[in-house]
Amino acid sequence: MAPSIEIENKGLIPQHDLPTPEPDSPFRPRQPYRFGTLCATVENPDQKDQYGSSSVPIYQSATFKGISGEYDYSRSGNPTRSHLEHHIAKISSATNAFAVSSGMAALDIILRLLKPGDEVIAGDDIYGGTNRLLTYLKTHGGVTVHHVDTTDPKNLHAYIKAGKTAMVLLESPTNPLLKIADLATIAADVKTRAPDALVVVDNTMMSPYLQRPLEYGADIVYDSATKYLSGHHDLMAGVITCNREDLAKQMAFVINSVGNALSPFDCFLLLRGVKTLAIRMDRQQETAMVVATMLDRLGFDVHYPGLANHPGREVHERNADGYGAVLSFTTGDKALSERILGAARLWGISVSFGCVNSLISMPCIMSHASIDPAIRAERGLPEDVIRLCVGIEDPADLIDDLEHALLEAGAITVSAGADQHHFVRATIAREGVSISRAVEKLAFNENTAPRENREWFVSAPGKVILFGEHAVVHGVTAIAASVDLRCYGLTSPRHDGKVALRFSDLGDFYHEWVLDDLPWDAVTSIGVGDQHPELLDQKLIEAIQKRALPSLLDSNASAKAAAVTFLYLYMIMAQKAERPSFSFTVRSTLPVGAGLGSSASFSTCVVTALLLLHRRLTLPAIPEPTREANDADPGHIHVSHEGRRAVPMEIAEEVNRWAFVAEKILHGNPSGVDNSVAVFGGALAYTRPGFGRKPGMEPINGFKSLRFLLTDSRVPRDTKRLVAGVAAKKLAEPEVVGHLLEAIQSISDEARRALGDPELSRKALLEALGALISENHAHLVSLGVSHPVLETIREKTAAEPYRLSTKLTGAGGGGCSVTLIPDADVNEEVLSDLINLLAESNFRPYLTSVGGSGLGILSAYSPNNHEGPITPPETPNGLPDDQFLAARESLRSAFEEKGVEELPGWANERGRWLYV
């Protein structure tokens, strides 16, 4: 904070040294209240509240009764506004104050004092909105505007002309370069050379707490009260102060005529904000000094009057009682500055300042974008300048977040040989920023293997809901299990600065994006180890949809949603300036859109691949596995759910958190069941909160893998319509539906006990499940969520000689059915006949198992080497580059060309899979 400046040295008697609210004591005269007390004490001797309220009442009235009262119409005057204006005048050394609808409204009122032919002198570094309004006056109002560097009062002399110069418009400090104007000297020069000219000062940056330009000869001062006076960005307001009655009358006439006075409620909010002005500003400018010092130490060109090297510091200390809470700095490269903005998290990207929350912006593309780039260049406004507006957060958190943003963007690096918290400025090349490789090697203790040579093969299962469909919406427990039909994803490195997607099962969609062309300006990246916020970043989603998607996706809704999900996750996970270039191909043995959790298995594959490529996961060495071959899953390497896990639980949980984010993008409000099954495999019970039962998801330990026949009816289902139908039926027939829901809950409870009972024989389990399946389906039919095609499938599977239990799964209304296949009671030839029968009826049957493994990860480079960590080496088995590239392309080509039936076996042969 700046040293305290004695009032006597300013040569003026401050108007805010008003008497205390209570009479002086005859024994000891009271001293005038200090500024912080004046802010907190809202007292107007001429407007005493009849009830003695400690907070000024809101007179939320447009009109007032009577013909001789002080108030008649709130456009012209309002008691709440009068309290506010008296208070603003008190703390501004003013006799008159006006509260209007915004800071720009305040300037508009002031500029209406001009007439055609007048000349205005303004600074060359001013707020973009001010420049816009002056340009309008110059174009449409016949007013001449001169933009001058106001840091030297002599620069104005050539433009000050008696009879012509009508106004000198100043900012000090300026926005955003924080140039300083000698207010007292300029005001004296103007009065000497053009006595009729008005000196107007925009004091928003300082507020009356730190600077009161009326004390230095200014005629009019205005603030955007949206900023520091309010302090919370919950209202828009502007204030004007002056000590000349003639000017006050003219501006009052304009306000009354135009009707832009501040509303009573906003006056109340602004009064409340002003009470804490002093304490907020003290905290904010103290932290601003810490931030400015840190950036200056790193070697950035920092603009802040509190720094010893600031050219206007001495003048500023004569003007003000502090240095303020706004600073700016340049990086030397616009793209680098944009990356810094995108990497910040605690510093919110916003065009404004003055709030209790810290903000960051690039004025040339935000608040000052309305100024022509050529004019910005002429006035010396750097395109790469970053403005920081410091809030009241803990300084340590702000510094930490800013350091991470600078590091992630490549603006700084870790100093070799120093401790991990010692940062230095990264090298700036002529063409732009040359990011030191030390960032890659030292930041966040990352693995130093070249990212461009990483290739990952991942897979995740689908899911079936065995019991509780639709009833789960009303609080009934659902039993969900993984199904060994899987989604597979393969990443293939490339070296051309692009990322490519191929969705083989979604119209064989393929597209490539140039990484630098993606909307990085809309990204608020998530730090390594940090969790995604509860809400999605809608700004980023909209930017991707509007600026990154090819037009061919307009006719492919599923691929469009999948592409948005992939790009959102890729961009929000990216750290620093490092953006891995690769191709990602997705294939599935799951029927897409059939209610078997295909989107969740896709989400799990996408986030796993991205977490690995962005080095957010570190996999351990491969343990000695146990091989558990079965008919549906020959040769897979499994780790028992009761024993060791090849993929540690903490990694699986991290994948699951991000997979839930992906599901949010795809579905809006998912339950979390599908992604949990896709990651962890096995089976779980899910109960929705808010219905009296214990909510949440619990694994069913000891679940025994079961054979099922899944049949895709190939009839689309409308989940929302079906859910709404059950709700409507419940409203119309509450007792009937209530009994059905209780019955389904009993079925889920019984199935959960049976599936987790280690003492129950396999035969008894299958018999119990078969009966529960039939009973559950009957209740779902009564709820109205089945479909004729599902009933046809049930009839065929229940007929002789099959006699199998079948029910719908998922949404119903089409979609899929599940048929339990007893281990020993079904002849394989008879089962083959049933599969053929269903296929001939235009259905798609899949013989598979339920309750198997979850997420799988394979290193495609090491099929014969199981030593060491799973992280792939730079080349497979030390092959030269040409053979390495050929091997990689061979793998990708084979993956894309294999038939659906061949895909699982081919994938299992690639090497050792690690499963959750």
pLDDT tens for each residue of 416-465: 443 444 678 875 443 333 333 333 333 333 333 344 466 788 999 999 88
Residue 256 has pLDDT above 60, yes or no: yes
Residue range 535-547: mean pLDDT, rounded = 91
pLDDT, residue 911, reads 67
In the chain, the amino acid numbered 881 is: D
Q: Tokens 């054979």 map to which residue?
A: 707
Cα–Cα nearest to 207, from 241, 235, 184? 241
Pick the more confident residue, 647 or 303.
303
pLDDT, residue 635, reads 36
Residue 366 has pLDDT above 90, yes or no: no
91: confidence class by pLDDT, cuts 50, 70, 90: very high
Least confident span in 328-337, 570-579, 737-746, 877-886: 877-886
Lookup: tokens for 273: 């904000």
pLDDT, residue 646, reads 60
pLDDT, residue 890, reads 55
pLDDT, residue 30, reads 61
HSE-up of residue 781 (Cα within 13 Å, Cβ side): 13
227 included as an active-site residue: yes
Could you give the percent of the chain with pLDDT greater than 90?
Answer: 49
505 included as an active-site residue: no
pLDDT, residue 427, reads 58
What's the burial of 141, exposed, middle or buried (CB within 10 Å: 0-12/13-18/19+)? middle
The active-site residue out of 81, 179, 212, 227 is 227
User: How far apart (Å, rounded) are the C-alpha atoms in residues 347 and 359?
Assistant: 5
What residues have CB less than 8 Å from 224, skipping those under 6 apart? 102, 103, 104, 106, 204, 237, 238, 354
472: confidence class by pLDDT, cuts 50, 70, 90: confident
Q: Residue 729, Cβ neighbours under 10 Å: how many?
A: 17
User: How far apart (Å, rounded) are the C-alpha atoms in residues 469 and 685?
Assistant: 12
pLDDT digits (tens, 9 = 90+) for 804-828: 999 998 877 888 899 999 876 678 8
763 included as an active-site residue: no
User: How far apart (Å, rounded) are the C-alpha atoms in residues 478 and 691?
Assistant: 14
127 included as an active-site residue: yes
Residue range 797-803: mean pLDDT, rounded = 91
Least confident span in 49-58, 80-89, 397-406, 742-751: 49-58
pLDDT, residue 453, reads 62
Residue range 45-68: mean pLDDT, rounded = 81
pLDDT, residue 421, reads 46
Would you say 462 and 598 are in contact if contact means Cβ atoms under 8 Å apart?
yes
pLDDT, residue 66, reads 80
Residue 694 has pLDDT above 80, yes or no: yes
Return the sign of the alpha-carbon dihedral for residues 401, 403, 404, 405.
Answer: positive
Residue 678 has pLDDT above 60, yes or no: yes
Residue range 669-679: mean pLDDT, rounded = 87
The active-site residue out of 108, 124, 125, 127 is 127
Residue 228 has pLDDT above 80, yes or no: yes
817: enclosing H helix or E strand: strand 816-820
pLDDT digits (tens, 9 = 90+) for 146-200: 999 999 999 999 999 999 999 999 999 998 999 999 999 999 999 999 999 999 9
Residue 584 has pLDDT above 90, yes or no: yes
Would you say 669 and 720 are in contact if contact means Cβ atoms under 8 Å apart?
no
What residues have CB less than 8 Å from 832, skipping those under 6 apart? none
575: confidence class by pLDDT, cuts 50, 70, 90: confident
37: confidence class by pLDDT, cuts 50, 70, 90: confident
User: How far apart (Å, rounded) are the C-alpha atoms in residues 705 and 853?
Assistant: 10
What's the burial of 305, exposed, middle or buried (CB within 10 Å: 0-12/13-18/19+)? buried
Name the 3-class secondary structure at 343.
helix
Residue 260 has pLDDT above 80, yes or no: yes
Cα–Cα nearest to 64, from 52, 51, 46, 82? 82
User: b/e string for 413-425 if b means 16 or more Cβ within 10 A?
Assistant: bbeeeeeeeebbb
Residue 849 has pLDDT above 90, yes or no: no
Residue 643 has pLDDT above 60, yes or no: no
pLDDT digits (tens, 9 = 90+) for 897-912: 888 788 888 887 776 6
Would you say 119 and 159 are in contact if contact means Cβ atoms under 8 Å apart?
yes
Residue 209 has pLDDT above 80, yes or no: yes
The active-site residue out of 75, 498, 539, 729 is 75
359: confidence class by pLDDT, cuts 50, 70, 90: very high
847: enclosing H helix or E strand: strand 844-850
722: confidence class by pLDDT, cuts 50, 70, 90: confident
The active-site residue out of 118, 125, 182, 202 is 202
pLDDT, residue 51, reads 73
pLDDT, residue 197, reads 97
Pick the more confident residue, 494 or 140.
140
Residue range 697-718: mean pLDDT, rounded = 84
Pick the more confident residue, 274 or 912.
274
Most confident of 289-303, 453-467, 890-904: 289-303
pLDDT digits (tens, 9 = 90+) for 736-759: 999 999 999 999 999 988 888 888
β-pair type (498-503, 432-433): unpaired
Residue 19 has pLDDT above 60, yes or no: no
Would you say 696 and 687 are in contact if contact means Cβ atoms under 8 Å apart?
yes
pLDDT digits (tens, 9 = 90+) for 699-708: 888 777 788 9
SS3 track for 22-90: CCCCCCCCCCCCCHHHHHHCCCCCCCCCCCCCCCCCCCCCCECCCCCCCCCECCCCCHHHHHHHHHHHH
User: How far apart (Å, rounded) are the C-alpha atoms in residues 181 and 331?
Assistant: 25
Cα–Cα nearest to 889, from 486, 585, 515, 589? 585
Most confident of 246-250, 454-458, 839-843: 246-250
Residue range 99-103: mean pLDDT, rounded = 96
